[in-house]
């Protein structure tokens, strides 16, 4: 069964700290992996998309890595800010035309 897991479910850090969110998937034969953030009462905002042939993607203070062999991806957030507080979701596509399979998300709280 193809599953995506995110640990921890919740994380609280002080402002300015660098942090890592984890995502693991059971089947390493992925097509691509996408990270999203969801603010309360809002839809999902796409952060980064990593194709299966790539090792990492960067956007501003965000860096996402992909290790297919171990079935893991990490989202690194540098110099965290209170505005980063949101739920972060990892999702995997396993084949062309396939659906996104979501993890349960990590709820991040950055304290001023």
Partner 1 sequence: SAVISQKPSRDICQRGTSLTIQCQVDSQVTMMFWYRQQPGQSLTLIATANQGSEATYESGFVIDKFPISRPNLTFSTLTVSNMSPEDSSIYLCSVRDRTNQPQHFGDGTRLSIL
Phi-psi map region of 108: left, alpha, beta (phi>0 left; psi -120 to 50 alpha): beta
For partner 1, the binding residues in 83-112 under the rule CB under 8 A are 89, 91, 93, 95-100, 102-105
Kindly write down the DSSP assignment for every residue of 62-101, as one continuous string.
EEEEEETTTTEEEEEE-S--GGG-EEEEEEEE-STTPPEE
Closer residue to partner 1, CB minimum distance, 14 or 96: 96
Phi-psi map region of 90: left, alpha, beta (phi>0 left; psi -120 to 50 alpha): beta
Q: Is residue 31 a contact residue for partner 1 (CB under 8 A)?
A: yes
Closer residue to partner 1, CB minimum distance, 14 or 95: 95
Question: Exactly one of 11, 19, 44, 62 binds partner 1 (CB under 8 A); which one?
Answer: 44
Closer residue to partner 1, CB minimum distance, 3 or 15: 3
Q: Is residue 51 a contact residue for partner 1 (CB under 8 A)?
A: yes
CB 59 within 8 A of CB 107: no
Question: Exactly one of 36, 75, 84, 88 binds partner 1 (CB under 8 A); which one?
Answer: 36
């Amino acid at each position: 069964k193809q599953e995506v897991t995110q640990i921890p479910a919740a994380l609280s850090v002080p402002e300015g700290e660098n942090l890592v969110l984890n995502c693991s998937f059971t089947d390493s034969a992925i097509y691509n992996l996408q990270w999203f953030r969801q603010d309360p009462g809002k839809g999902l905002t796409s952060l980064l998309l990593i194709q299966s042939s790539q090792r990492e993607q960067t956007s501003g203070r965000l860096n996402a890595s992909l290790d297919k062999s171990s079935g893991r991806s990490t989202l690194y957030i540098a110099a965290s800010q209170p505005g980063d507080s949101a739920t972060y979701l990892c999702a995997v596509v396993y084949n062309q035309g396939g659906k996104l399979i979501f993890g349960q998300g990590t709820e991040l709280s950055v304290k001023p």
